[in-house]
Structure 1
């Protein structure tokens, strides 16, 4: 059945042919009858039963912009599981949309190679006062000047109400109406490409949200074979799973083909339960490869993965799943323990600077080591995987928002430490990602927020959040996720970028990003051209990177004291290119312009100094 998948357009839901007719295809394998209901005139049109549990109809009666529902077995009307638009919320009628009607102007755009990606994660609702795609468009000049090459948008699949992180979406094909809908997203991507900015979209294929989830009434989208944190797993390998797999493969292809998205970030793929002979991710990659061959456009697949398992990111020809890159939380964890010393929860596995040194060298910290937190040996070595396959960060939506009070690094660490953490990420041999606002030390938290319209569900979420952090009662009560203040209090404050010390930190980030692009040793992500050493007593780390005749030394002092570090390399002279402790960055003292390898270098507390062998 999957061989019938059409790369040129969606084959499920409602689509419009060249004659302007609506071609309707619904999967409802156990239904005795299926009808299309046009809500404007309350007329019903019967669908014809086809093979593999599908029902089909071609009709001129349904036009773009019309509202419609499906009626199974003569019972209550339901929204389309493959809906492209839900203007009346997750419980309302679906809206027919012709995605091909948008006029694109990005014909000259070429997606960046993955190694050129410098990511900026943002949440549409809190990134700007408007909380829309149009609001993001107004900040593209700012982002371009910052130096990032791609924005990563948290999930936009339709969710209940107007406030949500996006991981409670229940219509994977429908773009959130309060953000600007499908056309708003197409317009944003088109404009990004004109500004030479790539667009990564966060998608969720491991679960569906609870409110507005009518999938079970249509077919076997879920299986009881596996337990997940969100209930029954999506059915990727049980009876009737062919159609479910096709549904999600079609979703991937739609974002690339019809929205010109450059890369997908797939949420928590370790929670995708699939023991088929061909894993879903591998099949997705094969179909994306076919699409790219047909369109000539390049797309990337990035996964969030809580498994140090190179099978996910190894190429198809090496029997891998073919994912192009993965988020790597272990770099974040090692950096945070180095900075703060906090070893609660999953941080208990990390020994601070020694593990940060290992993360720079090996990507995975746990690569066959015994994990005390997991109480088992964990991971595999990633020796043959290039640096561009690993996305690193000092904070992201999860690591900030899953704290009880949603504190960013700006609320937890000193100004000097924030500069050091930025440097630690941006000099790494991996793909760096910033979380919106970190570049100017946004003080607002990023809290967990929802706007469920089901009162019982909203109350359950509130109680669950308070119970989750009951052990932290000394720090106060967990903010109510349903309270609008949790959402509005998480919005960025754009007036701060011109105030001090925010303006200085923003300038520091711009300089760091520019250096990463300009210095060949930092720009090329060759993990073999890297040396790293650390000293637990002084909490100092030295990262040496090189490319051809360019060498760079990155000296980091995570301690609260001035430290001396001996340069072990036989380079006669090293020239300063950036020192976070210099006066121009509101630091205490300027570092010398040049240093000799025979003389110990003085490092200011909580600082990074970058030297090059070239002026």
Structure 2
């Protein structure tokens, strides 16, 4: 790492910090007899450096700027006392990896499971997630995607307000416990990906802006936090090494990057391009390192493929357009209204993003999901989809997305219809808490049902500890109906996907997809898979029967509900039903 504290051969420690506004920088090292201040040498372009044999692994340290403030290392590997406390020197080589034979899994096998470490279990730790890995494997998941884990202010947060991008949050556990979670997942055949929120620093605990304001693109303060200046060469190097750090030092199998890193300035080198190149030439040379992007229509140019098997830059983009179309089909009024939602859904399932980019990309280039942390958390009361939709329409849509060729993603608890909401929560200092609670409730004032102060008072206070506690999954419910029934439903669908579809995806061609809209609420899509077999979806997403259908050739893989197969043989589909068929090659 070109920044932070690095253990050198012979046991010496090298400290390196970019502080262009500072005139003097020291390392404040906590020793048994008190704190000692070790001066750092000024280098070119605002860099300060010190190599010393006085510091030892396990020591706590801060940076002292101009003899006044003492701040944690912005590239700290661990801050055991929180983001306002000192950083701790670690030797990353002390953890003994035993997953050296792991090379990851091909992207076509991906079934993602997005989870928040703090809310996934009552314990809210890396170790507790590790204890649930067998459950995830038996569910049919192949890739866990962690919401951001970089250190943030307070005890709980969504993770997007991180301020120490290299340090796993101390409330989740020691960095070695995260490593143990990842290598245990590998032994069970599971990939682990990380949502990397490196484009933004939260509103509390960001000391970097005091001595390196050029790191950030704006002077926004208060609740807004600060966005990085991705055009600054120092910042770009910091972001690229942050990505390499999580892949190399923690053995993550991939990263999801925010579309905010997209650069459009004329003549500006492309950060996402440079990051992908560094990954492909680094850890990606020896194993699968999957790079994903958050939804953005401009992202399509990053996911072109060389030869239908090896990605040129990024494997896939999370397809918010498909998710919005699903919401509109199911409940008729999503957060962002979608015109002709069923047509839009068909286009997304056959071509991915439907406007502003290429019309033909591989289905595997788009992650499809019914709900994620943002979709649920951006609702005033944090309701999950099963709390807004009756079981039959929801079952039809689950069967649609889990068997489609695009990699599906689940949000934690979705598979057993968890009753716990996923609300917006945070734990900032008292000066921020009141403002955040007020702003949260004001943001829903334009919506029906929340236009009066009394109605908005029902919206949970994101800063109250009980709000976070309400979001932690209740695993005892999994053994009881209806939760056990939903879990069985998801497991059986994913078993069909792995057995009948996953092995046929490699080698697909983007042009080998057709979709039509029979009737007012019908959808028919046909994909020619990589082995030249043909996968067909026929669905009725309305409250009335759909007639006049012709049964496609092939064996029925799934009918939801069960009587839909018999009805299709008669040229019909009952309300809210889907049938999947597979015709073998030749």
What TM-score, normalized by structure 1, do the two folds share? Answer: 0.87
Q: 1:304 to 1:275 in 2, by over 3 A?
A: farther
Give the aligned partner of residue 288 of structure 1. 279
Which runs of 5 or more residues in structure 2 are unaligned?
none
CA distance in structure 2 between the partners assigned to 1:99 and 1:124 by the alignment: 22
Match of residue 357, structure 2, among 377, 380, 385: 380
Residue 110 of structure 1, CA deviation: 1.4
Give the aligned partner of residue 76 of structure 1. 69
Residue 315 of structure 1, CA deviation: 6.3
Q: Is the 8 A contact 2:144 2:191 kept in 1?
A: yes
CA distance in structure 2 between the partners assigned to 1:350 and 1:159 by the alignment: 39
Residue 95 of structure 1, CA deviation: 1.2
Residue 524 of structure 1, CA deviation: 1.1
Q: 1:315 to 1:581 in 2, by over 3 A?
A: closer
Residue 553 of structure 1, CA deviation: 2.7
Q: Is the 8 A contact 1:521 1:551 kept in 2?
A: no
CA distance in structure 2 between the partners assigned to 1:222 and 1:270 by the alignment: 13
What CA deviation, in whole Å up to 9, does each residue of 1:196-245 have, x standing for no partner?
100000111221101001111231211349999946541222xxx22111
Q: Is the 8 A contact 1:270 1:307 kept in 2?
A: no
Match of residue 419, structure 2, among 443, 459, 462: 443
Farther-moved stretch of structure 1 (108-117 vs 171-180): 108-117
Secondary structure of the residue aligned to 1:282 is: helix
Q: Is the 8 A contact 1:90 1:212 kept in 2?
A: yes
CA distance in structure 2 between the partners assigned to 1:324 and 1:14 by the alignment: 33
Match of residue 230, structure 2, among 222, 230, 236: 236
1:558 aligns with 2:541: yes
Match of residue 525, structure 2, among 529, 543, 549: 543
Secondary structure of the residue aligned to 2:185 is: helix
CA distance in structure 1 between the partners assigned to 2:222 and 2:84 by the alignment: 25
Residue 37 of structure 1, CA deviation: 0.4
Q: Is the 8 A contact 1:520 1:546 kept in 2?
A: no
Residue 422 of structure 1, CA deviation: 1.2
Match of residue 473, structure 2, among 485, 492, 495: 492
1:605 aligns with 2:575: yes
Give the aligned partner of residue 4 of structure 1. none
CA distance in structure 2 between the partners assigned to 1:464 and 1:413 by the alignment: 29
Secondary structure of the residue aligned to 1:556 is: strand
CA distance in structure 1 between the partners assigned to 2:495 and 2:472 by the alignment: 27
CA distance in structure 2 between the partners assigned to 1:72 and 1:242 by the alignment: 23
CA distance in structure 1 between the partners assigned to 2:58 and 2:339 by the alignment: 54
Give the aligned partner of residue 203 of structure 1. 196
CA distance in structure 1 between the partners assigned to 2:223 and 2:347 by the alignment: 31
Q: 1:117 to 1:30 in 2, by over 3 A?
A: same
1:462 aligns with 2:464: no
Match of residue 134, structure 1, among 117, 127, 149: 127
Give the aligned partner of residue 382 of structure 2. 406
What CA deviation, in whole Å up to 9, does each residue of 1:405-430 have, x standing for no partner?
11111111111122112112122231
Farther-moved stretch of structure 1 (124-133 vs 503-512): 503-512
CA distance in structure 1 between the partners assigned to 2:29 and 2:579 by the alignment: 65
Q: How many residues align?
A: 570
Alignment of 1:553-592 (within 5 A): 553-567=536-550, 569=552, 571=553, 574-582=554-562, 590-592=563-565
Give the aligned partner of residue 421 of structure 1. 397
Farther-moved stretch of structure 1 (148-157 vs 503-512): 503-512
Q: Is the 8 A contact 2:403 2:494 kept in 1?
A: no
Q: Is the 8 A contact 2:373 2:411 kept in 1?
A: yes
Q: Say what the alpha-carbon RMSD is for the aligned residues.
A: 2.6
CA distance in structure 2 between the partners assigned to 1:361 and 1:401 by the alignment: 28
What CA deviation, in whole Å up to 9, does each residue of 1:27-70 have, x standing for no partner?
11232111000133210111111223211111122112211011
Residue 550 of structure 1, CA deviation: 3.3
Secondary structure of the residue aligned to 1:410 is: helix
Residue 292 of structure 1, CA deviation: 3.1
Give the aligned partner of residue 480 of structure 1. 461
Alignment of 1:11-26 (within 5 A): 11-26=2-17
CA distance in structure 2 between the partners assigned to 1:168 and 1:521 by the alignment: 36
Residue 576 of structure 1, CA deviation: 2.9
CA distance in structure 2 between the partners assigned to 1:275 and 1:149 by the alignment: 40
Q: Is the 8 A contact 2:535 2:580 kept in 1?
A: yes
Give the aligned partner of residue 3 of structure 1. none
Residue 152 of structure 1, CA deviation: 0.2
Farther-moved stretch of structure 1 (324-333 vs 308-317): 308-317
1:353 aligns with 2:342: yes
Give the aligned partner of residue 194 of structure 1. 187
Q: Is the 8 A contact 2:540 2:546 kept in 1?
A: yes
